[in-house]
Every structure is written in C-alpha cells, then in structure tokens.
Amino acid sequence: MKIKQNIWVVIPAYNETNYISRVLSKVLAETSQVIVVDDGSSDNTCAQALTFPVHVIRHRLNLGKGAAMKTGCEYAFSQLGADAVVMMDADDQHEASELPLFFAAFGRGSQVVFGIRQEPKEMPWLRLKMNRLGSFLTYLVFGEYILDIPSGFKAFTRQAYQTIAWEAHNYAVELEIAARTAKAKLRYDYVRIKTVYHDTNKGMTMLDVIPILWYLVKLKVTL
C-alpha cells in the first residue's frame, strides 16, 4: 500500500523487554517510520530498541504513558515533519498488520482514528467495565459516545493533535484524548482491531479508576 502522507508510528514503552523486539519486527514489516519512546525503563527495553532502524527517545525517569506519548508526538511533528501519527502499545497486544487500516482512514479525511477492540472472553472484567463506563460518561459530559476509549491503538493528524494535545501523564490520557476530540467536534472514525492479552494483570487497576473519573470532571470544567 502506497502511503501518500508522512505518517509515523509512535510506540511508548516501559519495561517491555519481553515484547519490544517482537513488536518492532512486526511494525517494520509495515512501515520504516517508527519512533520508540522509552519511558525510563529499568530493563533492556531501550537497548533492544536501539538494535532496530528506528528513532529511539529515552526519558531518564519514568514519567508515565501520557508523557511518553506526548514526547513521541512532539518529536514526530516538530522534528520529522509528520502529517499524522499512529499510537501503538509496546506489549504486543496490537497487530501491526492492521496499520494500513489507520492509513486508509486518514485517506478518507478522518482527523482522529480510534482502534476499537473485540471483547474476547479473556478481557479482564475491570477493563471491560471501565471501557463502557468511560464511553458513557464521555457521552454524558461531552455529548459523544466514543467506543473503546482505553484502547492504545489510535491515530490523529497534525491538526488534530494541536487541538487534543493532552496534559495527563498517566492512564487518563486515553480519556482526555476522547474528551478533547468530542469537545472540539473533530471528525473521527473507527477501525476494528484484534487484541491479544499476554498478561491480564498489566494495565489499569482499581486504584486507577477513581482518579481517572475525577479527571473527567476536571476536564468538563477546564475544557
């Protein structure tokens, strides 16, 4: 597939030595335009990423997923002249072979593209409930029911990023992106994606829930 736009894949990573090499091998089979942001990992994530022909940026300290995502986006847009970026997680839960679906969505004029996952039986109960709750609350507060907000497989254009550039450093970043997209009435689209759960204990925990919901209230006041 010939890509007309300058699109870069941004992969925030924290202690993903078990998966980062596998992920990069798959992504590089689809595109050579890849940025890895190592968010202060204490393992060999950064060293492994540096063995691949990709751009690697490293935070000296762990700043959080939202901060790593923002570092990658700022670098793509300001240093590499990107027209758009696609965000992917570094834990091999996304299929790199689905990247062309996001590229095609940009070709249809979408400003933001959300990858929406199937809901397999192995999806952790908390993730499933938080998924639906986040969509419902975003609808109540901002008037748009955006599916699968916690999904880390998403994309946006340079222009959209200027509008949705987030402040959250933690898992609330996904909710903030959806809220800002809804508030600004940006043109968004969905692509259906697969998700493989290697470790159901990773990711959001019950301790993350209350701060994230409170953050949604804050966004209502500040946006």
What would the mean pLDDT of 130-154 be, rounded to a whole number? Answer: 73
pLDDT band at residue 1 using 50, 70 and 90 as cut-offs: very low
- Residue whose C-alpha is closest to residue 106's, from 125, 127, 84: 84
Tell me the pLDDT tens digit for each residue of 175-215. Answer: 889 989 998 999 999 999 987 766 555 555 544 555 656 66
Predicted pLDDT of residue 169: 87
- Residue whose C-alpha is closest to residue 64's, from 132, 200, 166: 166
Looking at the predicted structure, is the pLDDT value of residue 79 above 80? yes
Q: Where do we find the tokens 């986006």?
A: 73
Nearest 5 degrees, angle CA 164-CA 212-CA 38?
65
Predicted pLDDT of residue 124: 58
Q: What's the CA gap between 47 and 35, in Å, rounded?
A: 14
CATH numbers and ranges of domains, the chain: 7-222 (3.90.550.10)
Higher-pLDDT residue of 77, 136: 77
Produce one character per residue of 93-109: b if its CB has 16 or more CB atoms within 10 Å, e if not.
bbbbebbebbbebbeee
Higher-pLDDT residue of 67, 131: 67
pLDDT band at residue 97 using 50, 70 and 90 as cut-offs: very high
What would the mean pLDDT of 97-120 be, rounded to a whole number? Answer: 90
User: From residue 221, how far is each of 13, 29, 155, 179, 213 by CA, in Å?
Assistant: 31, 44, 26, 12, 13
What would the mean pLDDT of 62-78 be, rounded to a whole number? Answer: 97
What would the mean pLDDT of 58-63 be, rounded to a whole number? Answer: 97
What would the mean pLDDT of 58-70 be, rounded to a whole number? Answer: 96
* 137, 219 contact by CB (below 8 A): no
Residues 6+ away with beta carbon under 8 Å from 105: 113, 155, 189, 191
Residues 6+ away with beta carbon under 8 Å from 38: 13, 14, 45, 46, 49, 56, 57, 58, 59
Predicted pLDDT of residue 45: 98
Q: Where do we find the tokens 């493989």?
A: 196
DSSP SS3 for 55: strand
Predicted pLDDT of residue 172: 83
pTM exceeds 0.75: yes
Predicted pLDDT of residue 117: 82
Predicted pLDDT of residue 171: 74
